[in-house]
Amino acid sequence: MEVEVGFLGLGIMGKAMSMNLLRHGFRVTVWNRTLSRCDELVELGASVAETPAAVVKKCTYTIAILSDPSAALSVVFDKDGVLEEICSGKGYIDMSTVDCHTSSKISEAITSKGGYFLEAPVSGSKKQAEDGQLVILAAGEKALYDEVLPAFNVMGKKSSFLGLVGNGAKMKLVVNMILGSMMNAFSEGLTLADKSGLNPQTLLDVLDLGGIANPMFRMKGPAMLQKSYSPHFPLKHQQKDMRLALSLADDYAVSMPVAAAANEAFKKARSMGLGDLDFSAVFDAVKHPDCSS
């Protein structure tokens, strides 16, 4: 590949996504706050830069996937950040899950320097990132979308262009709001089955044969019964997304009592010290409502 791709953020998702780019022949320069996290990527052929600005200076377009709005803004606006080197002819693609206001602020800053901006949050977690099976929800500069589509095709199974900046962020928050609400209801169902004398594994079998059978129940259910919560999608990030989705609902005066209740369960789980575990660990908060931190 002739184009040099920058990649900022090597957490659970970013590491897997950048590895796929390298394995498919892309030239990639990476950066992470903890630089030691870059070592495995270097073994696959990546170059390392010491700052986000250095990545942008070197690369035609730069991808970022960061933990929350604060981190997404910091990488752009702080000293040695993206804004110091973004200019005409360079593109910035933010694949973080953030609110539309954060995405718009970043977009305005990038375009004011002559750069091109695309938001492109992803639906999927660790396994989908590793397998290149993410769903990419892009919005912003269509020309940049067309340019980076070969990279999106490596990282994901489907990319959608949703129009104006903000639409990608909104779609991702709606998807994750539904995801979190489903996980909370699933946890309540498993708990009720167990407390009422039913076999939770039999419940999983019955669910998988009916109209609400889905990959999440199938993948997460057995691990939840074993109290195995290896983080594919950290609970603290799911709760952040519930909070942002509820804020979006406030903007449009949409009542979401189910999502609000689910958010409280995730907050309870965080107070129990479960934030770094998989979001399915909310099951423990549902099972033990009287536990405190």
DSSP states of 19-77 as a string? HHHHHTT-EEEEE-SSGGGGHHHHHTT-EE-SSHHHHHHH-SEEEE--SSHHHHHHHHH
Q: Tell me phi and psi for residue 138, to 5 degrees.
A: -100, 150
* Catalytic position from the list 15, 105, 126, 172: 172
Least Cα distance to 104 among 88, 117, 87 occurs for: 117
- Compute the half-sphere exposure of residue 229: CA atoms within 13 Å on the CB side of its CA: 18
DSSP bridge pairs for 4:
27
Within 13 Å of residue 246, how many CA atoms lie on the same side as its CB? 17
Residue 234: DSSP 8-state = B
217 contacts 207 by C-beta, under 8 angstroms: yes
* Interacting residues of 138 by C-beta distance below 8 A, sequence separation 6+: 118, 119, 120, 145, 152, 159, 160, 161, 162, 168
φ and ψ at residue 235, rounded to 5 degrees: -60, -35
Whether 172 is catalytic is yes
Helix-strand-coil split of the chain, %, nearest 5: 55, 15, 30
Q: DSSP secondary-structure letter at 100? A: H
Helix (H, G, I), strand (E, B) or coil at 99: coil
Active site residues: 172
